Chain A
Amino acid sequence: MRILVVEDDLEAQRYLVNGLKEAGHVVDDAADGETGLTLALSRPYDVAVVDRMLPKMDGLHIVAEMREHGNAIPVLFLSALSEVDDRVKGLKAGGDDYLTKPYAFVELLARIDALMRRRSPQAVKTRLQVGDLELDLLTRTAMRAGSAIDLQPREFRLLEYLMRHASQVVTRTMLLESVWEYHFDPQTNVIDVHISRLRAKIDKGFDTALLHTVRGAGYMIRARA
C-alpha cells in the first residue's frame, strides 16, 4: 500500500515512516504543507497521514484543497492540538479519522488498515463470515457452526465491527469510537470486559478461538490461528 506522510517534526516523521515501511507499506514523506499537497495531487496513494499544524499550509487546508481537486483518498489527521473541538474541525474539513499525539504506533497502523479497508470497493454486504461464525446483518442474528448465538444489540455491533475488520488489529480506542461513539479514554478498561463477555458467547465450547487478543495493541477476529 502507498502511504503519504506529511509531518514537520522530522524525528516523528522518521519513526512513522520506518514503522510503516517495516509494516510493509510504501511510504512517501513531506515536511511541509505545500510539498504534501503537491505529492497528494500528483501520485496515487491509498492513505494520507497529515499533521494538523504544518509550515506553509496547515493540515486542514491541504485536505480541503485535495477534496476541492476531487481527490478522495482517506486522510488520517495527526494532531498535537488540544482535542475537544479540533476533532470536529478535522472531520468537517474532510478528514476521515483523527488521532491525537502522542499515539501508539499500533493504534496508527490499525487505523490506517481500517481506512484502506474502507476504501476498497465492497459490495453492500448482508452477511459477514469468519470461519464458521456467521453474522446476518438483516435479521441481526449470529450463528456459529449452525447454532444460534444470543447477542445483546451492543454485542452485535461490537462483533459486526470486529468482523468487518477481520484479520486486522482493532484497538480499544477504535472500538470505543466506532461501537460506542465515545472519544475519551475511560479510567478503567471497560472494553476488555465487553470483549471477554463476547468471547464467552462466541468461542466458549469451540475448539478454535476466533477472537484473539493482540498483545499491546487490541483485538483481532480471524479464522486461523
Chain B
Amino acid sequence: MMRFNKGGSWPSILRTQAYRIVLVYTILFALSVTALLAFTYWNTKRTLDAQTDQIIEAEITGLSEQYQQLGLRGLAEVVISRSAHGGPGLYLLANAQKQPIVGNLDAWPANMTHPDNFVEFDYQRRVENQLETRRARGRIFALTGGFNLLVAQDVHERYQTEQLFTTTLPWTVGLVLLFGLGGGALMSRNMLARLDSINRTSGEIMAGDLSRRVPIGAAHDEFDALAENLNAMLDRIERLMKGVREVTDSVAHDLRTPLNRLRNRLEATLRHLDPASDETAQIESAVAETDQLITTFNALLLIAEADAGVARGEMAPIDLAAVAADISELYAPLAEEKDVGLQISPSGTTMIDANRSLISQALANLVDNAIKYTPSGGKVTVTASDTPLGVELAVADTGPGIEAVERARVVERFVRLEASRNSPGTGLGLSLVAAVARLHEAKLMLEDNAPGLRAIIRFPRHPPRPR
C-alpha cells in the first residue's frame, strides 16, 4: 500500500520514528541530568553539614571542659567572650524555660528541643542596622540544673547555595526537555521532508513513471547515499523494463512475422481451391487453428506487457458504470440467446483512472465466462460500485462456481478446470483479467456467490496518477 506523508505537518512529525527516538533520548537525558544534579546537591550538603557538625562538636567539647572547670558562671563568661567575636559561631545559654541568659542569639529557636540532634533553624541578626533572617545549624548541650547551652554555626551561605540549587533544577530540566524536543521536532521535520521526497518519487514510479529519480542533496549525508543507491536501483529497473519491452516487441515481431506468412500462404492456397473440395475444409480448419494460436499469443503478450507495466500509455479518467453498461449491452443478445438473465445493478458514476480498452476487455472476459458457465435460466449480474474498500467492478453468476481451493489456481496462466476443457477458450481469460487488475494496482478476487461465482476487480481508492 502506498502511503504519502503530507510534507511536514506537525501531527505527522510527532508520529515519525526519528521523533520517537528523540523523545525517548530527551526524557532519559532529562532524568540523568536531574539525578546527577540531585546527587551533587545531596553530597555537597552532606559534606558541608559534616564539617559544620565537627566544628560544633569541637566547640561543645571545649565548652564542656570550661563548664566542668569553671562552672556555670565561668561558662557564661566564655560564651559572652566568644559571642563578641562576630564570626559564624552562635551561642545561647538559657535557663530551663529556654529563656536566654547570655549569647549572641536573641531568642531560643522554637524547633530546638531535643538535646542530641543537629537541627537547623532560622535566626535574626542585625547586619548594618538591618534585621536579617539567616540559617544556622546547631546542637543543644544540656547542663545541670536545667540550663541549656545552644552551640550553632551560621550556615547561611550554604543555605543560599542550596536554595539556588533547588530553584535552578526544574528550570534546567525544563530547558533540557524544551531544547531536546524542539530540536528533535526540527530534526524529524527535516528527515521527514527527505523521506517524503523519496516516498513521492517511489509513488510516482509505482504509478508508472519510471523516469523519475529521487533528488540528491548537496550534503553527501546518509540520505544522499540512500537516494543515490535508490537511483542506481531505479536505473537498473528502468533498463530491465526497457529490456522487457524490447524483448516483447522483438518476440512479437519475430513470431508474428512467420505467423503472418503462414496465414498468408494458407489464404493464398485457399483462394485457388475449389470451395467445395476436401482440401478447402482442411485448410480452413488450419486457418482457424492459426487464428487460435494468434489469439493465445496476443493474450500472452498482453499479459506480459501488463505485468511489465508497459501498457500504461492510455490511462485516462473513465466511468466504470459506463464500461459496465457498454459491455453488458454488447453481451445482452448472447445472454438472451442462452436464456441467461444479464443485468447491471444500478449505481452512480464511479470514476477511476484507467485504460478503457484493457478494462473493457477484462470485463468482457468476466462476462463472457459468466455467461458461458451459467446454465439456462440462470442470472449474471454486473456491478460497478463505490465501496468503502475501493471502487469495485463485479460480475456475479449463478453457475456452478469454483471450489475454494481452485480459485487461486484459475487465475494462473493456461489453467482451465477439468469441467471446461472442452469449451473453446485460451485458458488465459482470467489471467488476463488478473494482469489488467495488477496493472491498475487493483485486485482480482474470486468469491462464492452461493450459488455461483462472484469475480470482483477492486481498484484502490487513490487511483494511479496519469502520466
Contact = CB atoms under 8 A, between A and B. Distances in A.
Contact of A102 (B249, B294, B337, B372): B294
A138 interface: no
A9 B298 CA distance: 21
A62 B156 CA distance: 103
A43 B1 CA distance: 59
Contact of A84 (B257, B262, B314, B333): B314
Given A12-B261, A184-B361, A84 B271 contact: no
Contact of A82 (B259, B301, B358): B301
Contacts of A183: 357
B261 A84 contact: no
Interface string A1-42: 000000001011001101100100000000000000000000
A15 B357 CA distance: 32
7 contacts: A9-B261, A15-B264, A15-B268, A85-B314, A186-B364, A190-B331, A216-B284
A104 B259 contact: no
Contacts of A22: 271
Contacts of A102: 256, 259-260, 262-264, 290, 294
Which 6 A-B residue pairings sit nearest by Cβ, starting from the closest? A85-B313, A102-B260, A15-B264, A80-B256, A84-B311, A193-B333
Interface string A81-106: 11111001000000000001111111
B328 to A, nearest CB: 11
A194 B256 contact: no
B256 A19 contact: no
B368 interface: yes
A120 to B, nearest CB: 27
Contacts of A103: 260, 263
Given A19-B268, A85-B313, A190-B333, A53 B253 contact: yes
Contacts of B263: 102-105
B172 interface: no
A67 to B, nearest CB: 22
A108 to B, nearest CB: 10
B330 interface: yes
B285 to A, nearest CB: 11
A140 interface: no
A175 B267 CA distance: 22
Contacts, number: 124
B452 interface: no
Interface string B407-444: 00000000000000000111001000000000000000
A101 B249 contact: no
B464 to A, nearest CB: 16
Contacts of B260: 9, 12, 80, 101-103
A12 to B, nearest CB: 6
A65 B253 CA distance: 25
Contacts of A186: 330, 364, 368
A188 interface: yes
B66 interface: no
Contact of B265 (A15, A80, A104): A15
A9 B256 CA distance: 12
Interface in B245-287: 248-249, 252-253, 256-257, 259-265, 267-268, 270-271, 284, 287
Nearest to A53: B253
Given A180-B330, A190-B334, A80 B267 contact: no
A88 B333 CA distance: 30
Contact of B357 (A9, A182, A216): A182
Nearest to A82: B252
B311 to A, nearest CB: 4
B350 interface: no
B295 interface: yes
B168 to A, nearest CB: 72
A154 interface: yes
A126 interface: no
B199 interface: no
Contacts of A196: 333
Contact of A184 (B290, B291, B331, B364): B364
Given A105-B268, A187-B372, A197-B333, 8 more contacts: A82-B301, A100-B256, A100-B298, A104-B267, A182-B360, A185-B298, A186-B368, A188-B334
Contact of A81 (B249, B284, B294, B311): B249
A58 B241 CA distance: 23
Contact of B368 (A85, A105, A187, A197): A187
B305 interface: yes
Contacts of A197: 333
Contacts of A106: 267
B64 interface: no
A88 B314 CA distance: 8
Interface in A172-212: 180, 182-188, 190, 193-194, 196-197
- From A16, A19, A80, A83, name the one whose CB has the most chain B CB atoms within 10 angstroms: A80
B305 A84 contact: yes
A188 B340 CA distance: 15
A80 B369 CA distance: 29
Contacts of B157: none
B256 A101 contact: yes
B326 A81 contact: no
B314 A11 contact: no
A105 B264 CA distance: 7
B381 interface: no
Given A18-B268, A88-B314, A186-B364, A82 B261 contact: no
Nearest to A23: B271
A86 to B, nearest CB: 9
B365 interface: yes
Contacts of A82: 248-249, 252, 301-302, 305
B132 interface: no
A19 B269 CA distance: 11
A194 B290 CA distance: 25
Interface in B348-386: 355, 357-358, 360-361, 364-365, 368-369, 371-372
B65 interface: no
A80 B333 contact: no
B329 interface: yes
A190 B330 contact: yes
B295 A185 contact: yes
